[in-house]
Structure 1
Amino acid sequence: MTVEGDGTWIGVDVGKTHHWVCAVDERGQKLLSLKVLNDEAQILEMITAVSGLAQSRVWAIDILGTPSALLLALLAQAGESVRYASGRLVAAMSTAYAGEGKTDAKDAYVIAETARIRTDLAVVDTDTDVVRTLGVLTGHRADLVADRVRMINRLRDLLTSVFPALEREFDFASCKGALVLLTGYATPEAIRRMGEARLSRWLRQRRVRGYADVAARAVAAAQSQHTVLVGQDVTASIVAELASTVLSQHERLKALDEQIQDTFAQHPQAAVIESMPGFGPVLGASLLVAAGDLAAFPTAGHLAAAAGLVPVPNDSGRRVGNLHKPRRYSRPLRHALYLSAQTSMMRAGPNRDYYLKKRDQGRTHSQAVIALARRRIDVLWALLRDDRAWTAAPPARAHAA
């Protein structure tokens, strides 16, 4: 494929400690290939050197995240245009180039060639710090949620070994009162000694919602077990420690969600995104982080393709018209759009009506949600294009093509 016009395409194989940079001209000839430490002085020196190669420059990187943060900040400061070439795309492109199986130098060259040949690479929004901040916050939130799930599972396992009746009684992932209970009382004997009235007062003093119900259910569970199991006291102390940790994580998540909400509100597209049913601040932030600059997608179809919601042909010989799920797409983007669609169809309205329509046509739950997610992309892209909030009723006059 021939690419016309003068210019330089620079591919950067991003690394934690260093980057490999390769620049090619309009014919795909290497202009430079060098290793650069992930250090401000060296990166600035490299940007200056590349700036002297041509007036027209397009940069491309393969990683968006922590390792590329300093590089992207310095490129933004220099006013450079940056594209994103995903790791899967680079891996697919690399098979067309001879040479060693995989090296940083080859990867940088392939990234540069990908930027030169492919004109549909997403633009990295280097001017916006909000998305990068949201990436840090949502990443930390995902870690906290994973830690919380792991600790709750460990708590349930330990409680089952000494007090299975109480473990069955509560959903510790959603019942904060049950966790408060475990911080003080995690054995049948201790709960029976307290009694329902005293336990109810103890929970009320700790601001447990529905304290009387929690106390009644706990006492009923304690009345069903009078056998003392081996290691009960030691296990109960560990359960109390885990319960306290989970409660602390819950408070940290609440504070983090407020921080994400405040940061998300600073993005110019936040109001439009959050107006759509199914998108709250956290899921909206996840969408921005996964998609990058939503304005960089020229059509709704491009956004749907990036999320893997557009089937691709699987034709061979005389077999035509066969479609299958794409193998290369952004899984975080697909996940955010899928979750928003699933949330939106839980309430009455056009989203639920469309979901039920697909179910009536014989689609499975997942297929119906995916179909809804694809339809919602058209709506979201149109709203962002027109910079207007979502309403249940369609606009009085369609946007002129």
Structure 2
Amino acid sequence: MIKDHETIDVFIGVDVGKSNHHAVALNRAGKKLLDKALPQDEAKLNALIKSLSKHGRLLFVVDQPATIGALPVAVAQAQGIPVAYLPGLAMRRIAELHPGEAKTDARDAFIIANAARTMPHALRTVEVPEAQVAELAMLCGFDDDLAKAATATSNRIRGLLTQVHPALERVIGKHLDHVAMAELMAKYPTPAALRRAGEARIGALLRKHAPRAWKGWARDISAALAAQSVVVSGTDAAGIVLPELARMLAQTRAARAAVLGRVEEIVRAHPLHLILDSMPGFGIRTQARILTEVVGKEFATPGHLASYAGLAPVTWRSGTSIRGDHSSRKGNKTLKRAFFLSAFASLKCKDHTSRTYYEKKRAEGKKHNQAVIALARRRCNVLFAMLRDGTVYEAPEAAVA
């Protein structure tokens, strides 16, 4: 919701694009003041804003505030103009109210501008991010990409091992998240190579990276090799592919570790770190996601924050035939995942408050995921109060004492 919406004189709707945008400007009466395409260029954007400033106070609205929309947003903010964005789902539903089925940049820009003029409640403000939060957002996005790449590579390795030697996959596959197994597959990628190396050499390699588990792993690998003597077609090709995949997996995990180190530095230096760190279940990655998705946004109540995160239940009622509450499928997926993972992690913490609430929900008949989401919703209320008051978390028992 934009503050002082009634004081805005010109509503600029911009349908952003990779190389070109389309802008439509409407005055308060709905008269079109501008309708033109403009390139992804700072000078052109400044000229647009300057030409419209003579009509009064401006509001700059985009459909994508990040990535391809980052430059228009930054230019408008540098000019001191309030910036907002219209979420994609809201825009699609608003577009259905307009006549015609065409999908053009000019039509989309007009819909954005008209929605900003007539439906201010549908808009979301875009604040100037803190330098720390902006850096965190970029690093966390890259970390997410690396995590997906590591998972895809690991699954590909397991798939190839299952194809050529299932018994070997059952041993190596479940420990593939350990650096020792990636190094092993890079040096001895086929069953024949592992047999030639022997248990002693396999153990020596594993011992460098897994000083506690190497002996058992080497013994299990030798037993798995003895369980299959036939050579499956494609094993030689797998010997070419597997070491490359193993090196890719090791490089990806090393990159994640480097990114996590920088993320941890930024999170620990942020003023809200002590507050977030005091609450059980919040690790460095989840704290980083809370900072990137919550800082700079205003929420009037805990319910608003829960709704934004997609944790607030949705009530369905229609006469007497349909009644019930269901989990929301909307909201900020990144923030919802952070709350869910932190709630799940809190079940193993020394503070048994989360475990007690979780077991209460299970006793009410809720499934595991439903109980964790309910716990995440409760923790959302607590976090809202902590951020609002600037206080650290206190367990109920400690507070009573």
| TM-score when normalising by structure 1 | 0.87
Task: Output the CA distance in 2 between the equivalents of 1:40 and 1:178.
Answer: 50
SS at match of 2:89: helix
Shift of 1:367: 1.1
Cα distance 1:161–1:395, how it changes in 2: closer, same or farther (>3 A)?
closer
Match of 1:164 in 2: 166
For the 8 Å contact 1:60–1:83, the answer to whether it is kept is: yes
- Given the superposition, is the C-alpha separation of residues 92 and 173 from structure 1 closer, same or farther in structure 2, using an over 3 Å criterion? farther
Q: Identity of aligned pairs, percent?
A: 36
C-alpha displacement of 1:36: 1.9
- Residue 229 of structure 2 corresponds to 226
Q: Distance in 2 between matches of 1:5 and 1:145?
A: 46
Distance 1:343 1:91 in 2: 37
CA distance in 1 between counterparts of 2:243 and 2:6 reads: 68
2:283 matched residue in structure 1? 280
Structure-1 residue corresponding to 2:258: 255
**2:22 is aligned with 1:10:** no
Cα separation, 2, equivalents of 1:346 and 1:139: 27
State the distance in 2 between where 1:173 and 1:14 align: 43
What is the correspondence of 1:41-190 to structure 2 with a 5 Å cutoff?
A: 41-55=43-57, 57-99=58-100, 101-116=102-117, 117-119=119-121, 121-170=123-172, 171-190=174-193
- Indicate if the aligned counterparts of 2:353 and 2:396 stay in contact, CA closer than 8 A: no
Following superposition, the deviation at residue 381 of structure 1 comes to 1.1
Return the alpha-carbon distance in structure 2 between the equivalents of residues 98 and 63 of structure 1.
Answer: 23
User: What does the per-residue CA deviation read over 1:244-281, in whole Å, with 9 as the maximum and x for residues that have no partner?
Assistant: 22111111110111122223445443443343222222
SS in 1 for 2:25: strand
Residues 63/374 of structure 1: CA separation in 2 closer, same or farther (3 Å cut)? same
Which letter maps to 2:372?
A: V
**Structure 2: 5+ residue runs without aligned partners?**
none
Q: 1:102-147, CA deviations, whole angstroms, 9 ceiling, x for partnerless residues?
A: 3222222222233332246332122424333333222222222222
Report SS of the residue matched to 1:225.
coil
Q: Using the alignment, how far apart are the partners of 1:52 and 1:176 within structure 2?
A: 63
Asked whether the equivalents of residues 338 and 369 of structure 1 are also in contact (C-alpha less than 8 Å), the reply is yes
Q: 1:384 to 1:114 in 2, by over 3 A?
A: farther
Structure 1: runs of 5+ lacking an equivalent: none
Measure the CA separation in 2 of the matches of 1:394 and 1:9: 53
Q: Give the aligned CA root-mean-square deviation in angstroms.
A: 2.7
How far the C-alpha of 1:87 sits from its partner, in A, is 0.4
How far the C-alpha of 1:326 sits from its partner, in A, is: 4.3
- The 2-side partners of 1:267 and 1:29 are apart by 46
Residue 59 of structure 2 aligns to a residue whose secondary structure is: strand
Change (3 A) 1:209 1:236: farther
Which secondary structure does the structure 1 equivalent of 2:385 belong to?
helix
* Shift, 1:369, TM fit: 1.3
Task: Tell me what 1:367 maps to.
Answer: 370
Alignment equivalent of 1:350, drawn from 338, 350, 353 = 353
- Counterparts of 2:92 and 2:289 in 1: how far apart (Å)? 25
Distance (Å, rounded) in 2 between the aligned partners of 1:86 and 1:109: 15
Distance 1:50 1:205 in 2: 67
- Offset at 1:325? 4.3
- 1:378 CA displacement: 1.0
**Structure 2 vs 1, CA of residues 81 and 4 (structure 1 numbering), >3 Å: closer, same or farther?**
closer
CA distance in 2, matches of 1:342, 1:115: 39
Whether the 8 Å CA contact 2:302–2:381 is kept in 1: the answer is: yes
Give the Cα separation in 1 of the matches to 2:305 and 2:373: 14
Is the Cα–Cα contact under 8 Å of residues 60 and 82 in structure 2 kept in the other structure?
yes
Change (3 A) 1:58 1:387: farther
Contact residue 90 and residue 122 of structure 2 kept, 8 A = no
Query: Aligned partners of 1:320 and 1:234: how far apart in 2?
Result: 57
Check conservation: 1:313, 1:321, Cα contact below 8 A.
yes
Contact 1:12 1:22 in 2 (8 A): yes
Q: How far did residue 160 of structure 1 move?
A: 1.9
Q: Are the structure 2 counterparts of residues 98 and 5 from structure 1 closer, same or farther at C-alpha, using a change threshold of 3 Å? A: farther
The Cα shift of 1:309 comes to: 2.2
Q: Distance in 2 between matches of 1:320 and 1:15?
A: 42
Q: Distance in 2 between matches of 1:266 and 1:89?
A: 36
**Aligned pair 1:381/2:384, yes or no?**
yes
Write out per-residue CA displacement over residues 337-375 of structure 1, whole angstroms, 9 at most, x where no aligned residue.
222222222334212221111111111111111111111
Whether contact under 8 Å (2:13, 2:62) holds in the other structure is yes
Amino acid at match of 2:199: E
Normalization by structure 2: what TM-score?
0.87
Tell me how far apart the structure 2 counterparts of residues 160 and 396 of structure 1 sit (CA, whole Å). 54
Deviation at 1:217, TM superposition (A): 1.8
